[in-house]
């Protein structure tokens, strides 16, 4: 292993190459890192560890700190040290915001390019871990769907979990993982290190909002846009106003919100936030299935798109008519019931209807996709009637949030090994497969008589895509068959 002085010098040089710091900052940065790893001296280096990346250098420096008992071999301790080291190379938040908006004056895309690169170079975005994810596209009746098997998040060891349980969790700072107070927070057992975390001020409709990137990006420039105020997520007229205001500022980005009810909502409903980025999902490419008129807003173009979930797409060159039309549709949907389609707006006082909205600019016009959601549970489907049904749980049983709605499956890590076993089983190797996959595998065998080494991966990938399309069909409140489309048209008449 390279000696510690060589590792630190290599890391400093990498930071200079990435333009995180100026060459004249090198000695300062080196000394700060020496302090963090509790070393008092330094040997000048003739050679550097040139082939190692920033994440690799950080890991080796961290291993050295564990071997010298500077930190314990726990996930949170390791992440704290790595974030503190990278923070040495980062400017203060005000300076980063200043550079961002200087670049924004030239073009919005230059500003986001700068901040995305900075977030990767500073190891805030975990590029090395993300590279472990299995990602591919697969054809479906609704276009090419994105499949991701999520292998990027490190597993916590038993000692880490024990410490988290033992710790008194009455600390309420920061209030949650999305709060602005995470910027620069050193971290603790049970709360991630954020020393190298920076956020950009993005005011929306007279309120303080911020932009950051997800540490575990699922698609290009996967960003999180969040309110300064720690308040629950709510879909209302203000949501549509903020979403369209954001794409007006950043026309190369889409932005969307998870729904605001359990089951159909996202994983963090306690903090008002959206997700955005520079990526074209299958749903974005979905074509109009049929158009219709909203009598109250005749100037707004409205259509139902060809997609497994129930999506109304509205377009206008101005924001205001679109905001009003979206709010009108939301209010009508909130109170809408259709017994024949098993849609009920309320059980007692409990509301079931809401919307997952997505905004973008297209051909100089504002465009809003309004995905109709309902979170009703039944005896037959206790996890949700419009939620993945039991026969697809072997692939996906978690909530269908914004990212899945648009056509990107985020699937559990267990599938990596299980799919390999299925491929071997399909090639007639004597290998046992999980019981919950058996029916699926039998159906694959029936439909494909020519399975061979050359095509087994493609067959399984395609079958996985079909399953994900089924997951989305389950989540659609109006089904894509003739009866479902009739029910959808009843709602449109109600509009």
**pLDDT tens digit string along 131-140?**
999 999 999 9
176-194 mean pLDDT: 95
Q: Tell me the three state secondary structure of residue 483.
A: helix
**Lowest model confidence (mean pLDDT) among 109-113, 158-162, 303-307, 348-352:** 158-162
Which of 222, 204, 241, 232 is CA-nearest to residue 359?
241
- Within 8 A by CB and 6+ apart from 371, the residues are 309, 310, 311, 355, 356, 357, 358, 405
191-214 mean pLDDT: 97
**Lowest model confidence (mean pLDDT) among 50-54, 415-419, 482-486:** 50-54
Give me the phi and psi of 148, to 5 degrees please: -130, 125
When the pLDDT of each residue in the chain is averaged and rounded to a whole number, the result is 94
What count of other Cβ atoms lies within 10 Å of the Cβ of residue 387? 24
What count of other Cβ atoms lies within 10 Å of the Cβ of residue 232? 10
- Confidence at 170, pLDDT banded by 50, 70, 90: low
Residue pair 383/389 in contact by the 8 Å Cβ criterion: no
- Within 8 A by CB and 6+ apart from 76, the residues are 160, 187, 188, 189, 190, 191, 192, 193
Is the predicted pLDDT of residue 254 greater than 60, yes or no?
Answer: yes
Is the predicted pLDDT of residue 1 greater than 60, yes or no?
Answer: no
**Lowest model confidence (mean pLDDT) among 1-5, 109-113, 205-209, 246-250:** 1-5
Q: Structural domain boundaries of the chain?
A: 4-70, 231-386+478-494, 415-475
State the DSSP code for 392.
G
């Amino acid at each position: 292993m390279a000696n510690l002085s060589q590792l630190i010098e290599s890391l400093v040089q990498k930071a200079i190459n990435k333009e995180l710091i100026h060459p004249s900052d090198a000695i300062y940065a080196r000394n700060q890192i020496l302090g963090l790893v509790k070393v008092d001296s330094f040997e000048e280096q003739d050679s550097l560890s040139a082939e190692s990346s920033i994440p690799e250098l950080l890991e080796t420096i961290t291993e050295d700190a564990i071997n010298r008992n500077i930190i314990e071999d726990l996930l949170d301790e390791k992440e704290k040290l790595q974030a503190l080291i990278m923070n040495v190379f980062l400017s203060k938040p005000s300076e980063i915001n200043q550079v961002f908006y200087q670049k924004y004056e030239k073009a919005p895309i230059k500003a986001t390019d700068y901040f995305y690169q900075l977030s990767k170079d500073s190891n805030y975005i975990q590029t090395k871990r993300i590279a472990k994810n299995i990602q591919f596209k697969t054809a479906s009746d609704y276009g090419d769907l994105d499949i991701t098997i999520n292998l990027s998040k490190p597993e916590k060891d038993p000692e880490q979990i024990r410490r988290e349980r033992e710790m008194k969790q009455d600390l309420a700072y920061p209030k949650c993982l999305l709060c602005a107070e995470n910027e620069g927070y050193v971290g603790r057992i049970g709360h991630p290190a954020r020393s190298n975390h920076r956020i950009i001020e993005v005011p929306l409709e007279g309120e303080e909002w911020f932009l950051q990137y997800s540490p575990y990006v699922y698609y290009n420039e996967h960003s999180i846009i969040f309110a300064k105020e720690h308040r629950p997520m709510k879909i209302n007229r203000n949501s549509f106003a903020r979403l369209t205001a954001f794409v007006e500022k950043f026309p190369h980005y889409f932005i969307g919100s998870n729904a605001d009810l359990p089951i159909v909502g996202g994983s963090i409903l306690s903090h008002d936030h959206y997700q955005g980025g520079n990526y074209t999902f299958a749903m974005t490419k979905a074509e109009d299935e049929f158009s219709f008129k909203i009598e109250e807003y005749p100037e707004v173009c409205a259509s139902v798109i060809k997609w497994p979930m129930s999506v109304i797409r509205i377009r206008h060159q101005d924001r205001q008519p679109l905001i009003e039309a979206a709010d009108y549709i939301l209010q009508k949907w909130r109170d809408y019931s259709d017994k024949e389609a098993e849609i009920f707006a309320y059980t007692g006082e409990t509301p079931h209807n809401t919307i997952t909205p997505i905004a973008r600019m297209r051909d100089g016009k504002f465009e809003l996709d309004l995905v109709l959601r309902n979170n009703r549970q039944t005896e037959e489907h206790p996890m949700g009637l419009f939620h993945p049904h039991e026969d697809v749980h072997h692939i996906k049983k978690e909530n269908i949030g914004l990212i899945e709605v648009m056509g990107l499956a985020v699937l559990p890590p267990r599938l990596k090994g299980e799919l390999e076993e299925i491929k071997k089983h399909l090639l007639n190797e004597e290998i046992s497969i999980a019981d919950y996959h058996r029916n699926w595998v039998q159906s694959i065998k029936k439909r494909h008589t020519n399975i061979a080494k050359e095509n087994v991966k493609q067959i399984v990938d395609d079958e996985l895509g079909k399953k994900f399309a089924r997951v989305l069909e389950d989540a659609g409140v109006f089904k894509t068959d003739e009866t479902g489309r009739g029910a959808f048209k009843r709602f449109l008449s109600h509009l």
